[in-house]
Amino acid sequence: MPRPNERSPSALRELTFLRGFTRPAPGSVLVKMGRTTVLCTCCVEPKVPDFLVGKGKGWLTAEYGMLPGSTNTRKPRDKAGKVDGRSVEIQRLIGRSLRAVVDLDKLGERTLWIDCDVLEADGGTRTASITGAFVAAVDAVNSIRALLTVPVSEVLTDSVAAVSVGLVDGEERLDLEYVEDRDADVDMNLVMTGSGKIIEVQGSGEEATFSRKQLDALVDLGEAGIRTITAEQKKVLGNTWPF
Amino acid sequence: MPRPNERSPSALRELTFLRGFTRPAPGSVLVKMGRTTVLCTCCVEPKVPDFLVGKGKGWLTAEYGMLPGSTNTRKPRDKAGKVDGRSVEIQRLIGRSLRAVVDLDKLGERTLWIDCDVLEADGGTRTASITGAFVAAVDAVNSIRALLTVPVSEVLTDSVAAVSVGLVDGEERLDLEYVEDRDADVDMNLVMTGSGKIIEVQGSGEEATFSRKQLDALVDLGEAGIRTITAEQKKVLGNTWPF
Amino acid sequence: MPRPNERSPSALRELTFLRGFTRPAPGSVLVKMGRTTVLCTCCVEPKVPDFLVGKGKGWLTAEYGMLPGSTNTRKPRDKAGKVDGRSVEIQRLIGRSLRAVVDLDKLGERTLWIDCDVLEADGGTRTASITGAFVAAVDAVNSIRALLTVPVSEVLTDSVAAVSVGLVDGEERLDLEYVEDRDADVDMNLVMTGSGKIIEVQGSGEEATFSRKQLDALVDLGEAGIRTITAEQKKVLGNTWPF
Amino acid sequence: MPRPNERSPSALRELTFLRGFTRPAPGSVLVKMGRTTVLCTCCVEPKVPDFLVGKGKGWLTAEYGMLPGSTNTRKPRDKAGKVDGRSVEIQRLIGRSLRAVVDLDKLGERTLWIDCDVLEADGGTRTASITGAFVAAVDAVNSIRALLTVPVSEVLTDSVAAVSVGLVDGEERLDLEYVEDRDADVDMNLVMTGSGKIIEVQGSGEEATFSRKQLDALVDLGEAGIRTITAEQKKVLGNTWPF
Amino acid sequence: MPRPNERSPSALRELTFLRGFTRPAPGSVLVKMGRTTVLCTCCVEPKVPDFLVGKGKGWLTAEYGMLPGSTNTRKPRDKAGKVDGRSVEIQRLIGRSLRAVVDLDKLGERTLWIDCDVLEADGGTRTASITGAFVAAVDAVNSIRALLTVPVSEVLTDSVAAVSVGLVDGEERLDLEYVEDRDADVDMNLVMTGSGKIIEVQGSGEEATFSRKQLDALVDLGEAGIRTITAEQKKVLGNTWPF
Amino acid sequence: MPRPNERSPSALRELTFLRGFTRPAPGSVLVKMGRTTVLCTCCVEPKVPDFLVGKGKGWLTAEYGMLPGSTNTRKPRDKAGKVDGRSVEIQRLIGRSLRAVVDLDKLGERTLWIDCDVLEADGGTRTASITGAFVAAVDAVNSIRALLTVPVSEVLTDSVAAVSVGLVDGEERLDLEYVEDRDADVDMNLVMTGSGKIIEVQGSGEEATFSRKQLDALVDLGEAGIRTITAEQKKVLGNTWPF
């Protein structure tokens, strides 16, 4: 199975960011990774969850959803009383990934609310969400920099980006799109910082297995992809890049 | 209280439609009414709800939601087990409005799924949803015209558009934006067809009342607005306008 | 389709009120509009919702339900986790209608709880609920008049009543019963005060439309009906009528 | 603590039945036991739950609810996602009690739906519900007697009635009203047939205990009360009494 | 139908207690009654429900569940939004039974949390739960005796145990196992204290009835069984038996 | 921070399996990893989910729960309408891991239901669950081997085991217990087959990051641990080990 559009196994799809896509949230970024389209907003709430009240520390929480029209077969909305296990997993991942680069002690008693809503799903929605959410978070933190006691670069300690890699027909490929993801033997998501540290690695063979050597090759491929994505984040943020 | 941007009481905000905004749904329209931004998609499902099976008749259902970042204060998502009464009312209104111009007998055993998701809310989200949903429905029905036994103009029997009107400081105004809506004494939504028939009129004075004369003036104002909106729908649909 | 019982198009069904139908709630009215039977209770709670605490202002909230045996086909109770969109719409309407005639600032930090439970449904349950709820509210406010700082007639600023009108076979009719409502092309609910001001007008053509002229005729018919209903409310309340 | 109204320990409160209180359900009885008021309806549905389909056997199910205005402090409605353990217990008890006197094999593939809704609660709502539900069930089964293959007296094999007894200040009392029930050391509900057989005995000492001798005395008292209640049921049903 | 394993009608199954089965809860008892196996834990929480705060009084609450693998046909877990009426009834019974022997005034502002989780169900799970829960409660109260202002024997005022009895083929039998319980005409649960007082008697004929004489015989049989169970509780608790 | 009990960084805790711990489920294994105690049951249901009906293929699904008394602070049960995101993640992981070694085509139209219920939690509950679930699955598949068309070793294609590794104070450690897990900078779970293939690797730095070199060292450590665990599984299964 060759890649769609003759893409090379180690090539990313086209990546674009539209900052300020909507107005109410101080961070609002429409990120597109090929056809995958996610609206990432970041709001700042001047309070923290109960378990943190009075500790002088902030919090970051993330939620993820897919619009019903985002998939080829319409995806029903979550009904009251039902739960989508996949969405729960993804929003926990996005939250952990962003918190790894936020110094919550320096944020003050505030909550950053990250919302990633998928307008079109063509594979890699969770990694595009993380990548876009970081850009939205930079815009949101910048919007309150007058209220902070430290520079933005001390609240955000590093950048964060994510990418998927996978084994398709025995071949290691970067940034799977939907038709590849559906048939992949192994699907891995890698979240890393701009400085090259790993935040999260999740590799899974659904009804399949993989060798240690393949694990190593997939991580190599993902690391290279994240370097490119980080460069794109830096470009779109221009002089608001904090580091 | 003067109108923002020196708008005249009988003027609409700028209205734009982006057709084909996303790819998976056959109808996908980003409608903007001033800053109010709604993604309206229309999917076609080749089956009907249980109560219609075997009757050779179609169905149309609508759902409405607001993204968390669409409002100035972040709007929490509906939690499992909780319900947003306002959303329920709105999606019932959108469904009734669209069904009034769809000949369900001629649609065949199919369901049109209308989804209206608000990306930015600045007043009039329910009326913008109806206005945009009609454009998405035209694109969706056109996408299956090879499967229909009648022309599109027999499935869709008329166009539909909606607008809000209201009493602010005793003045009748067309197409209220959020800061006006918040302070309005009376808020009315009018849904009409392109041929000038009324589908729905809902006027409500929250902790206020209005006279019969004011009711008549508000309906007059709304009728004029809907004529303009219908003309915009016709323009953006070009030669796919069914009538 | 002639009217049942040779009723004229502009005639109401027989309207009766039983005040003090049950004892625990200070306002408890069994209202019958033809066969439609609703128990309206009004309780007074000496506190307000969180968003009003400390503002010296009161609140009024309404809930609506149908007993399972109230309809020809037994109506299942709402299950945990399911929601009845129609009930939500109706209870929001009842609440708005009553709040329009209550001066919440003069009520003090109290909540009026209106409960409308349908024992038998034969069309017009939401309008009978509003009509009966006003009578129950008068009794409830009277029961606390020793605690108020102003006369009852300043807490309740006007009376409120409601009626349905509709288009059946092209004929405008007042106060539809179930067999008419089911077949009506247009169904409209009108809520007005005793002094002739409009609180709410909701007209809807389910899979049908109506002309501006028909709208005007329906409102005329409803206004006349509400004058009669107001007179009945005044009669049953006797010297406790506040105005 | 003497009994209210100088009632003797072995006396019942006044018991009345209003048959045909509402029209849609074929059995509809407003039962009053002192101030306790319950609307008992019995509907007949021409199908059975999945686990009985095709077995030629019927079913009976019961539901119980309290209207918000039925208690001195307004009782909130069950919210989606919350459950009232007490209601669940009571409706299971009502169902078991009625099924004990219905020959489900002779009912045919039908479900009897019993609904007991409390309009006013002054103690003994569950026992009044059972007592009234039997009268409603007789009316409902009579309404379908033309469809049955056996006489009503073979579908309903016996009558059923219930009463509460309790220990208050060490005294055995029959048919407790609310102020007694609240302070009782032991509360017992007894359900029996008209022919003197026991269907259910539930005696409970909340934060208290009782002796075997007291148990025996309470059962004696309840048996006598049920004989009187059965006579009242027979009187109100007149020549429709099946036995 | 003879009893399994030639058990005599008045014989209990083998009863064993494993104290300290798990470590985190201060009371943790695996109770086995024949094959019926329940893990009863008792935790102490240093606070009370809202309705008791500031009254210097404690509380005891109980929950009951069945593991999916505990029954011959796998029992689905409770889903969000669904409720198991039987579990609700049982946990209310366990709570009432234990509270009857706890002097909440002397417990101080603490809550005893009883959890009874069935690992294997072979009849009598609710009575085994009560019997085991008492042993766990003794261990839990002993674990905080240094914090109490009175001896353990004043907090726990008596022991409590429970047993089922029933009518099978017209024979009164003690401690029914599943195959008997399934076919019993009458099922009764008896909860008593070690000093011979009754806490709860619940006898029910599902689609059957029983005579007063049978009621008396069943209570006799249960009383004898509870005396034996109490002796076993005393033996396993050894010198921590409080009385 | 030294390891509790002077355990070496590369040592596992004591691992025991009790097969046949309960009777109703054909696979029932109490697995203990140090103090962590999980009851793993495997039931066989003779049908498959709707999406697989008629495909001649089987299914495996897993659920995970923690008993309230399993943690030092009592863990409240999931309430109706609430969801525990962590449980959802874990049960999805258990299901994926087991499915990787089950040939669903050869299982026939059956569902294997894995239930892992934690009786005591001291770190590593999800990995102990997977390890124990495999043993339960072997027993369950053996129980139906007369119904299979192929040997057990073709239904179960490999063994599966799991272990946690982590970075604590910069040291790579195997099989973290709770006090280590709580303070770990990086927590990784590794699921592998008996033949040395990887099924899942999930490494996460909550509010921390790790280097590529540390990733490699952690995977090395986990691989060694899984070899030991596999040997223990083989020992306890004795001649029912399928390979």
> In what order do the strands lie in the sheet containing F59-66?
F15-19, F27-33, F36-45, F111-120, F59-66
User: Averaged over E116-130, what is the pLDDT?
Assistant: 98
In angstroms, what CA-CA distances link A33 with A14, A75, A171, E110? 6, 21, 21, 55
Interface mutation target, options E207, E214, E218, E219, chain D, most CBs of D under 10 Å: E207
Q: What percent of chain E has pLDDT over 90?
A: 91
pLDDT of residue E124: 97
Helices A212-237, F212-237: crossing angle, 10 deg rounding: 140
The answer to whether residue B160 is domain-embedded is yes
- Interface mutation target, options D28, D67, D179, chain C, most CBs of C under 10 Å: D67
Two structure tokens written together for B73? 């204060």
**What pLDDT does residue B77 have?**
87
Q: What is the pLDDT of residue C208?
A: 84
Cα-only R_g, chain E: 18
- Residues from chain A that touch C78, judged by Cβ atoms under 8 A, are none
Judge contact between E204 and D96, C-beta under 8 A: yes
- Cβ–Cβ under 8 Å, residues B136 and B172: no
Q: Which residues of A224-235 are buried (b: 16+ CB within 10 A; e: fewer)?
A: ebbebbbebbee
The answer to whether B80 contacts chain F (CB < 8 Å) is: yes
Note the ipTM here.
0.93
Alpha helices in C103-146 (DSSP H): 104-107, 125-143
Average pLDDT rounded to a whole number, residues B97-101: 96
Amino acid at B49: P
Q: Which one is predicted more confidently, E112 or A170?
A: E112
Is D182 flagged in the annotation as binding?
no
Q: For residue D81, is pLDDT > 90? A: no
Work out the minimum CA distance from E119 to partner chain A, whole angstroms: 27
pLDDT at B198: 97
Q: Which residues contact D209 (CB under 8 A, 6 or more apart)?
A: E100, E158, E193, E197, E198, E199
Residue F200: burial class (beta carbons within 10 Å; 0-12, 13-18, 19+): buried
Helical (H) or strand (E) element with A229: helix A212-237
Q: For residue D206, list chain E residues with Cβ-Cβ distance below 8 A.
A: 96, 99-100
Q: Is C80 on the interface with E (CB under 8 A)?
A: yes
How far is C-alpha D185 from the geometric centre of its chain's CA atoms? 23
Q: What is the pLDDT of residues A46-100, one digit of tens each?
A: 999 999 999 999 999 999 999 999 999 999 987 654 568 899 899 999 999 999 9
Please report, rounded to a whole number, the percentage of residues in chain B having pLDDT higher than 90: 91
Tell me the shortest Cα–Cα distance from E80 to chain A, in angstroms: 6
Q: Quick check: is C106 in a domain?
A: yes
pLDDT, tens digit (0-9, with 9 covering 90-100), for A168-180: 989 999 999 999 9
CATH number at residue C141: 3.30.230.70
Residue-level pLDDT at A47: 95
Chain A nearest-CA residue for F79: A81
Render the burial of A126-156: b for 16+ CB within 10 Å, e for the rest: bbbbbbbbbbbbbbbbbebeeebeeebeebb
Nearest CB to E70 within list F24, F78, F120 = F24
Judging contacts by C-beta atoms under 8 Å, the chain E residues touching residue D204 are: 96, 199-200, 202
Question: Nearest residue of D to residue B79 by CA position?
Answer: D81
Cβ-contact C181, C166 below 8 angstroms: yes
Query: What does the pLDDT read at residue C205?
Result: 85
Domain range for B112: 15-240
CA-based nearest residue in chain A for residue E80: A81
| pLDDT exceeds cutoff 90 at D84 | no
Choose among F24, F68, F72: nearest Cβ to E69: F24
Question: Chain C: nearest CA to E79, how far in angstroms?
Answer: 11
Q: B171: distance to nearest CA of chain A, Å?
A: 28
Q: Is D92 annotated as a binding residue?
A: no
Both structure tokens of C126: 């939401």
Q: Based on C-alpha coordinates, what's the Rg of chain F? A: 18
Looking at residue A50, its pLDDT comes to 92
Residue pair E194/E160 in contact (Cβ under 8 Å)? The answer is yes
Q: What is the pLDDT of residues A101-131, one digit of tens each?
A: 999 999 999 999 999 999 999 999 999 999 9
Provide the 10 A C-beta neighbour count for residue B80. Answer: 21
- DSSP 3-state of B28: strand
DSSP notation for C61-99: EEEEEE-GGGSSS--PPPPTT---HHHHHHHHHHHHHHH
Candidate from B230-234, D129-133, E182-186, E193-197 with smallest mean pLDDT: E182-186
- How many C-beta neighbours within 10 Å does residue F50 have? 7
Residue D13, class by beta-carbon neighbours within 10 Å (0-12 exposed, 13-18 middle, 19+ buried)? buried
Per-residue pLDDT of F63-97, as tens digits, reads 999 999 999 999 998 765 456 889 989 999 999 99
Q: How far is CA F105 from CA D183, F49, F57, F101, in A?
A: 65, 14, 5, 12
The band of D18, judged by pLDDT with boundaries at 50, 70 and 90, is: very high
B169-178, B205-214, B234-243, F86-95: lowest mean pLDDT where? Answer: B205-214
Position B237 pLDDT exceeds 90: yes
Q: Check residue C62 and give its pLDDT.
A: 97
Q: Cα distance from E209 to chain D (closest Cα, Å)?
A: 5
F89–chain A Cβ distance below 8 A for any pair:
yes
E strand or H helix at A235? helix A212-237
Say if CB D76 and CB D160 are below 8 A apart: no
Which residues of B define the annotated binding site for phosphate? 86, 124-126
What percent of chain E clears pLDDT 70, i.e. is strictly above it?
Answer: 98
Q: Is A240 part of the contact surface with chain B (CB cutoff 8 Å)? A: no
Chains near A, with 3+ CB pairs < 8 A? B, C, D, E, F
Contacts of F113 in chain E (CB under 8 A): 68, 74
Judging contacts by C-beta atoms under 8 Å, the chain A residues touching residue D80 are 80-81
Q: Are E199 and E161 in contact (CB under 8 A)?
A: no
Are A119 and B30 in contact by the 8 Å Cβ rule? The answer is no
State what percent of residues in chain C have pLDDT above 70.
98
Distance of CA A99 to the CA centre of its chain: 12
Angle CA(A222)–CA(A225)–CA(A230) in degrees, nearest 5? 120
Helix axes A125-143, A212-237, angle to 10 degrees: 40
Angle at CA A151, nearest 5°, toward A145 and A154? 120
Give pLDDT, residue A81. Answer: 47
Residue A78: its pLDDT value, please?
A: 75
CB atoms within 10 A of CB F9: 13
- pLDDT given for residue B104 in this prediction: 95
User: From CA E152, how far away is CA E145, in angstroms rounded?
Assistant: 7
Interchain CB contact of F80 with D (< 8 Å):
yes
Q: How confident is the model at residue C188 (pLDDT cuts 50, 70, 90)?
A: very high
Give the model confidence (pLDDT) of D216-233 as tens digits.
999 999 999 999 999 999
In a domain, C93, yes or no: yes
Mapped onto helix, strand or coil, the DSSP state of residue F156 is strand
E70 to chain F: which residues are within 8 Å by CB? 22, 24
Give the gap in angstroms from C-alpha D88 to the nearest C-alpha of chain A.
19
F133 located within any domain: yes
Interface residue of C32, C38, C40, C74 to substitute, partner D, most D CBs within 10 Å: C74
Mean pLDDT across E65-74: 96
Closest residue on chain F to E79 (Cα): F80
Cα-to-chain-centroid distance, residue E81:
27
CB A71 within 8 A of CB A58: no
Domain contains F8: no
The answer on pLDDT for E80 being more than 60 is no
Whole-number Cα distances in Å, E131 to D103, E137, E194, E226, E230? 37, 10, 11, 10, 8
Whether residue C184 lies inside any domain: the answer is: yes
Query: Which positions in chain E touch D83 (Cβ < 8 Å)?
Result: 83, 88
Q: For chain C, how far is it from start to end, CA to CA, in angstroms?
A: 41
* Residue F10, domain member (yes or no): no
CB of A80 less than 8 A from some CB of C: yes
Cα F75-F78-F80 angle, rounded to 5 deg: 155
pLDDT at C79: 65
pLDDT at D85: 82
Task: Please state, rounded to an integer, the average pLDDT across all residues of chain D.
Answer: 95
Question: In the Cβ-directed half-sphere of E10, how many Cα atoms lie within 13 Å?
Answer: 9
Whether A65 maps to a domain, the answer reads: yes
> Exposure of D194 by Cβ count < 10 A (0-12 exposed, 13-18 middle, 19+ buried)?
buried
**Residue C45 near residue C62 (C-beta atoms within 8 A):** no
Distance CA E140, CA E42 (A): 6
Query: Which residue of chain A comes nearest to B68, CA vs CA?
Result: A115
- Give the per-residue pLDDT at E85: 82
Spatial contact of E30 and F127, defined as CB atoms under 8 Å apart: no
Q: How many domains does chain E have?
A: 1
**What number of CA atoms fall less than 13 Å from residue F96's CA on the CB side?**
27
The residue of chain A nearest to residue C82, with distances taken between CA atoms, is A80
* Tokens at F234, concatenated: 């083989």
Min Cα–Cα distance to chain B from F94, Å: 25
* Residue D1: Cβ within 10 Å count: 9
DSSP code of E11? P
Residue D114 identity: I
Closest in A63, A68, A82 to B77, CB measured: A63
The pLDDT > 70 percentage for chain F reads 98
- Between CA E172 and CA A59 the distance in angstroms is 64
pLDDT above 80 for B206: no
Which pair of structure tokens corresponds to residue C28? 């408890």
- Verify whether the Cβ–Cβ distance E211 to D197 is below 8 Å: yes
Contacts of E88 in chain C (CB under 8 A): none
